[in-house]
A and B are shown apart, each in its own frame.
Chain A
């Protein structure tokens, strides 16, 4: 049995942000993640937007953590090297009737001290966004974009570099308070911890119910996205949002540029029962294109290179407006058990601020001593395609694997794949490579590079082909060898 002072259940953006913040202190910390990598749930499947904080009512936790988190992003990006661009956002009124809603949003934003909000006329918007038609828009300059999985991975890997232990493919199956500690049962053995942080996202209720009767319900709301080919990146310059869909408590189908030059359409909003049901549907795919065309009439039909969905963890039913605030609290009956419940959008933006809050809560339970050895990573991963000629030449001279391109769509080199596979949290799936170095994320969707990645996994990491997984414990890619297997 292994003992930790703090155990975090869930390696999403919240769990990873908390882990990284806690790794600044002299503590034994463990993160239990049931997926094969961090960011394997909602944290990777969202719009990747750093929100400004205009959408949540004043004095809500959502507003507070969103505004605080937003302000922390730039320095985090500088420290951790994940990409961040302040592209700004237009919330557009398609007709006169929607202008009121813009005014309302502006007021909420100002109440929440969001700076720079401006109303723009339709023709003014047209100058900046020639493909967008609207009568009026609210300009939100403090909204930005990031890569949500890279952000989460950077937090987690930096935490791991500062001695946080990550247990991947480890599902917490039982939780029990024993005297002054918790007994944590998992599929990979039993653990002990003084403090348990429930950052299990969609499964937050399941974790609570292991120790006490939950006083809340979780409502799952799936959002589907479409990814457009980079060829169409010039369609927009900023994020384009409709006015929010009040009845569902969601922001509505928006058009978001990504850091990598793709465009995202989505998300839809559909209440479902199964937290693992992340399918995409034909109806929604068609609807997303139709709704996006209402914003950008010139949107091409055949530009989609990928589709995915993510699931929002809501604490309110659609009948009651779909809006509820986050619950971030220590269990009243069970001191040392800290719960993060209903952390949906703007969770990505709020994560750094929530992490600070959790540190405060933990400091009331355990004495926290800062450690001198904490290393905030300064440089992110090098990407061959983004380097100068001189840097490229130096790298190739140092190691010829920098001169071998394995992903032809995104120009990713063998060295980058090896670096991705050598990550400090030990994630070794095809997806973990993709989310770290983009191999397989382009137009051919892995058609050419998968074979190279498989070769590299065998050559440098001694992995058997039957152990190679796409993204999760049972997502094996292969069924062994065609020749020479013992079974033949």
Chain B
């Protein structure tokens, strides 16, 4: 390509490039550096690091990791300081447009276009919120409909009040936390509507965000229609049956000016998708092995773009391992990955990560239960052989379950599929 003088694509190369400077990207970059990668580049599209954390001003972060409870901004700053000390090459306000199979990244920022050749890439793009259309809520299209995270950003980062009389759909953590936040800012929170028979957020958030302020939680309910030609005027809520179908005759109008959606998160994997990396249709994230390597060699994934985590603590732990693998990827001669064992969710389990075991040895599995259970038993089965049986005191879809398992070589050579199941005691 002929380019006019003075205007050029800026070329770089790096050992490890981390895409996304949220908690996962920061942890991965720091860990890659600590594990021996010399030149680590961290790219983020925002003007700040820490991703979503600076707007999560509530506390409860880091309890499992450090034993003390931090707020989101505090947790983020801890990692940002570490990254800055580690001599990581940080490029903010930089958007990755694409990368190819040879791990050449194209990115843009105010200085121009960049091509970065990476020996290893760590994907840490995070996730986005489900919108009204992901669950097909009909009605008008007025202003006053926000996803909970967007409302959170307006209130906590930009000093803007998005509504006064609010209904929240979805009892995920962000929705619960926003109920309290709005209450603190003087809004009237008319209720949280949840289609399931139980809250999908953590129990502690149900207590300290709803119960403390007598905010009603409508379980087994959904929103069937949004009314309001310009601004939201009312939403219609209705009860659902066991199959989640609306029970007609139970519809109730609630006058409000704002409708918040906390319907869950979708991993952001447009970049991975475009380059042909396999995506697990259940997690929405790339299929990875126990080293967090995707189906494209040298490309690793961590954080909420891999699977939606419920706490930043576990997310950061996994991300550090992903960063370490990316750094080690540089030095270790790749073995022929002829023996591969797939891990699949069985009865009672929604998904398992990693989905692939590429080497025998100790493997950390993370999984989610399909529904809340009291004490139950976790089974890992290779064909008809039980590799692991573990009693769990409780299993809740809101809490990710982690389990360590040793996978012997002989299992890998004889079995192509491992199944993870949850059963009654």
Task: Give A contacts to B, CB under 8 Å.
Answer: 231, 276, 278-282, 284-285, 302, 304-308, 389-390, 392-394, 396-397, 400-401, 403-405, 408-409, 411, 443-448, 450-451, 454-455, 465, 469-484
Q: Does B38 contact A (CB under 8 A)?
A: no
Q: How far is the CB of B162 from chain A (nearest CB, A)?
A: 6
User: B128, A403: Cβ atoms under 8 Å?
Assistant: no
Given A403-B108, A444-B129, A478-B160, are A389 and B113 also a contact pair (CB < 8 Å)?
Answer: yes
Encode contact with A along B364-386: 1 for CB under 8 Å, 0 otherwise.
Answer: 00000000000000000000000
Instruction: Specify which of B9, B139, B143 is in contact with A477 (CB 8 Å cutoff).
Output: B143
Distance between Cα atoms of A426 and B12 in the complex (Å): 43
CA distance A473 to B229 in the complex (A): 11
Q: A393 and B159: CB pair below 8 A?
A: no
Task: Say yes or no: A405 contacts B95, CB within 8 Å.
Answer: yes
Say yes or no: B138 contacts A469, CB within 8 Å: no
Which residue in B128, B164, B225 is a CB contact (below 8 Å) of A479?
A: B164
Q: Is B111's CB under 8 angstroms from A474's CB?
A: no
B153 touches A282 (CB 8 A): no
Q: Are A389 and B160 in contact (CB under 8 A)?
A: no
CB distance from A403 to the nearest CB of B (A): 4
Interface pairs (24), CB distance under 8 Å: A280-B138, A280-B139, A304-B133, A305-B131, A307-B136, A393-B9, A394-B7, A396-B110, A396-B112, A401-B110, A404-B93, A408-B95, A445-B131, A445-B133, A447-B131, A448-B128, A454-B158, A470-B142, A472-B230, A474-B231, A477-B143, A479-B162, A479-B164, A482-B185
Give chain A nearest CB distance to B152 CB in angstroms: 11
Q: Which residue of A lies closest to B187 (CB)?
A: A479
Contact of A305 among B111, B133, B139, B157 (CB under 8 A): B133
* Contact across chains for B224 and A403 when beta carbons are under 8 A apart: no
A478 touches B161 (CB 8 A): yes
Given the known inter-chain contacts A276-B229, A403-B110, please indicate yes or no for A447 contacting B150, CB distance below 8 A.
yes
Q: Give the interface of B toward A (CB within 8 A).
A: 1, 3-4, 6-9, 45, 93, 95, 97, 108-113, 128-129, 131-134, 136, 138-144, 147, 149-150, 153-155, 157-164, 185, 224-225, 227, 229-231, 270, 273
Asked if A447 and B3 make an inter-chain contact with CB atoms under 8 angstroms apart, the answer reads no
Say yes or no: A400-B110 contact (C-beta < 8 A), given A465-B160, A481-B159, A484-B159.
Answer: yes
- Are A451's CB and B153's CB within 8 A? yes
Please give me the residue from chain A that is nearest to B143 by CB atom: A470
Residue on B nearest A401 in the bound complex, by CB: B110
The distance in angstroms between the C-alpha atoms of A450 and B231, with both chains bound, is 16
CB proximity of A432 to chain B, nearest CB, Å: 13
Whether B143 pairs with A476 at a CB distance below 8 angstroms is: yes
B residues less than 8 Å from A392 (CB atoms): 108, 113
Contact A454 B160 (CB under 8 A): yes
A409 to B155, CA, bound (A): 23
B133 CB to nearest chain A CB (Å): 5
Q: Are A479 and B163 in contact (CB under 8 A)?
A: yes
Nearest CB to that of A483 among chain B residues?
B159
Q: Known A-B contacts: A389-B113, A393-B9, A411-B95. Give 19 more (CB < 8 A).
A: A276-B229, A279-B139, A284-B138, A285-B136, A390-B7, A396-B110, A397-B112, A403-B108, A403-B111, A405-B45, A446-B150, A447-B149, A454-B158, A455-B158, A469-B143, A474-B231, A478-B161, A479-B164, A482-B155
Q: Which of A396, A451, A475 contacts B113 (CB 8 A)?
A: A396
Could you say which of B1, B133, B158, B164 has the most chain A C-beta atoms within 10 Å of its C-beta?
B133
User: How far does the alpha carbon of A476 sit from the alpha carbon of B4 in the complex, in Å?
Assistant: 46
By a CB distance below 8 angstroms, the chain B residues around A444 are 128-129, 131
Q: Is the CB of B231 within 8 A of A279?
A: no
Which residue from chain B places its CB closest to the CB of A474 in the assembled complex?
B230
B residues less than 8 Å from A447 (CB atoms): 128-129, 131, 147, 149-150
Closest residue of B by beta carbon distance from A394: B7
The answer to whether B162 touches A478, judged by C-beta atoms less than 8 angstroms apart, is yes
In the complex, what residues of A have CB within 8 A of residue B164's CB?
479
Choose from A308, A390, A473, A474 the contact partner of B141 (Cβ within 8 Å): A308
Chain B residues, CB < 8 A from A393: 3, 7-9, 112-113
Cα A214 to Cα B163 with chains together (Å)? 43
Which of chain B's residues have a CB closer than 8 A to the CB of A390?
1, 3-4, 7
Q: Which A residues are in CB contact (< 8 Å) with B149?
A: 447
**4 tightest A-B CB contacts, nearest first:** A470-B143, A400-B110, A405-B95, A403-B110
Residues of B within 8 A of A389 (CB): 1, 3, 9, 113
Given contacts A307-B136, A393-B7, A475-B142, contact A482 B108 (CB under 8 A): no
- Specify the chain B residue showing the minimal Cβ separation from A414: B110
Q: Chain A residues near B159 (CB, 8 Å)?
A: 481-484
**Residues of chain A lying within 8 A (CB to CB) of residue B144:** 477
* A476 and B231 within 8 A (CB): yes
A281 to B230 CA separation, bound complex (whole angstroms)? 18
Q: Please indicate the chain B residues that have their CB under 8 angstroms from the CB of A401 in the complex.
A: 110
> Once the chains bind, are A443 and B7 in contact (CB under 8 Å)?
no
Residue of A nearest to B184 (CB): A482
C-alpha gap A33/B159 in the complex (Å): 33
In angstroms, how far is the closest chain B Cβ from the Cβ of A429? Answer: 9
Please measure, in the bound complex, the distance between the C-alpha atom of A445 and the C-alpha atom of B150, giving whole angstroms.
11
CB-based contact B231/A405 at 8 Å: no
* A472 / chain B contacts, CB cutoff of 8 Å: 229-230
Q: What is the CA–CA distance of A444 and B163 in the complex, to the nearest angstrom?
A: 21
In the assembled complex, the CB of B99 is this many whole angstroms from the nearest CB of chain A, namely 15
Is the Cβ of B136 less than 8 Å from the Cβ of A475?
no
- In the complex the two chains form, what is the Cα distance from A323 to B170 in whole Å? 45
Known contacts A403-B110, A405-B95, A470-B143, A307 near B133 by CB under 8 Å: yes
- Find chain A residues with CB under 8 A from B163 CB: 479
Instruction: Tell me, in angstroms, the Cα distance from A446 to B131 when the chains sit together.
Output: 10
* A288, B424: Cα distance in complex, Å: 43
Task: State which of A397, A469, A474, A477 has its C-beta within 8 Å of the C-beta of B7.
Answer: A397
